Amino acid sequence: MLASLQRYWREMKTSNGNTSIMDMFEKGKVLKICAPMVRYSKLAFRSLVRKYNCDICFTPMIVAADFMRSVKARDSEFTTNESDRPLIVQFASHDAQTLADAACVVAPFSDGVDLNCGCPQRWAMSAGYGACLINKPELVKDMVRHIRNQVDNPNYTASIKIRIHKDLRRTVDLCQKAESAGASWITVHGRTAEERHQPVHYDAIKTIKDSVSIPVIANGDIKYLRDVESTHQLTGVDGVMAARGLLANPAMFTGYEDTPLECIWDWVDISIEQGTPFTCFHHHLIYMLERVSSQPERKVFNSLSSTSAVIDYLQNTYGSVDDLGS
């Protein structure tokens, strides 16, 4: 994998330094972004959503210390190809130099890095990663500054993804400190670290957007294309990020209410072409078919245990792409 990345780097060196993802933030346009999702926002899924109007994709969260410690971790955690752009690599870290080192490794193959300050899982918080960082604004500021100072490409972005505090003044302070350190943009999941399925605090996202001059991305409960526009209207954000909505329907950003058959077969083709492990291939299809299949159908589909069985099932139940025109 590393050899192919190095070859890719040589090819990219001439063009990559001259373009910036920041040029995509145009007034009036709302960027549509695939969220970092552990196990799910890997290369094959990013390849799929890019076919359906997704502007920017994030990798799953990668623990920067593990990434720097082990070649095996680097090869398994970070895979990309020539068409996998624009790409943001998300890291979990609590050490500025480790984060900057990791950013320097991935910089030739990506458009920016993002610091996870939003993961509410207990293991991440106890290790000093994720949402506990929203309570350490000086550390976040230092980490952003280290990326800015050490990645040798002025167009490379450094962003943060956060959750909000109950006392929003603390969140505004965090965001303003990150901006002063050189953060390119901020993604705001409009819930506190303790909240899971409670309604998104759109008023909080709007307050943050009004408090900084860099772009702000809204995250939380984006399930249909109409949610993109309504979130923009409520908050004035520059983009929206979807996670579960895209898992359920990777074609969501094109306006489909449910996953179209064409998208399902695109996933089959991409998975076969890229050698996606069966469990991952199958899990994505379980998500995609959930809203369009009955419980008995789901029970049968979920029990399938080989790629050929899945393809036969899809063919027999839904038909092929060729059948769409007939």
Q: List Cβ neighbours of 231 (8 Å cut-off, separation of 6 or more).
A: 202, 218, 222, 237, 240
Q: Name the average pLDDT for the chain.
A: 93
Over residues 75-103, the mean pLDDT reads 97
| CB count in 10 Å sphere of residue 270 | 18
pLDDT of residue 246: 98
Compute the Cα dihedral for 277, 282, 285, 291 and give only its sign: negative
**Which burial class, exposed, middle or buried, applies to 27 when counting CB atoms under 10 A from its CB (0-12, 13-18, 19+)?**
exposed
How much is the average pLDDT of 134-138? 98
To the query of whether residue 119 is one of the catalytic residues in this protein, the response is yes
In residues, how long is the chain? 326
Give the C-alpha separation, 127 to 120, whole Å.
12
Q: ∠89-230-39 over CA atoms, to 5°?
A: 30
Given pLDDT bands bounded at 50, 70 and 90, which one contains residue 84? Answer: very high
Q: Is the pLDDT of residue 6 over 70?
A: no
3 state SS of 96: helix
Q: Is the pLDDT of residue 292 over 70?
A: yes
pLDDT value at 139 more than 60: yes
* Residue with tokens 């996933």, as numbered in its chain: 267
42: pLDDT strictly greater than 90: yes
Decide if 5 contacts 105 (C-beta within 8 A): no
Average pLDDT over residues 186-191: 98
Query: What is the pLDDT at residue 324?
Result: 58
**Mean pLDDT, residues 189-202 taken together:** 95
Predicted pLDDT of residue 20: 85
Residue 90 assigned as binding residue: yes
Q: What is the pLDDT averaged over residues 67-90?
A: 95
| Residue 50 among known ligand-binding residues | no
Per-residue pLDDT tens digits for 151-181: 999 999 999 999 999 999 999 999 999 999 9
Output the pLDDT for position 2.
47
Predicted confidence (pLDDT) per residue in 255-276, tens digit: 999 999 999 999 999 999 999 9
Q: Is 189 annotated as a binding residue?
A: yes
State the alpha helices, DSSP H only, in 17-78. 43-50, 64-69, 71-77
Helices (H) then strands (E): counts for the chain:
15, 9
Instruction: Tell me the C-alpha distance between 116 and 164, whole Å.
Output: 13
- Residue 17's pLDDT is 47
pLDDT in tens, 212-223: 999 999 999 999
| 3-class DSSP state of 95 | coil
Alpha-carbon Rg for the chain, nearest whole angstrom, is: 20
Helix-, strand-, coil-residue percentages of the chain, each rounded to 5:
55, 10, 35
The answer to whether residue 325 scores a pLDDT higher than 60 is no
154 assigned ligand-binding residue: no
Catalytically annotated residue among 54, 57, 119, 263:
119
- Please report, for residues 33, 142, 162, the alpha-carbon distance to residue 209 in angstroms, rounded to integers and kept in the order given: 17, 22, 13
Q: What is the pLDDT of residue 326?
A: 44
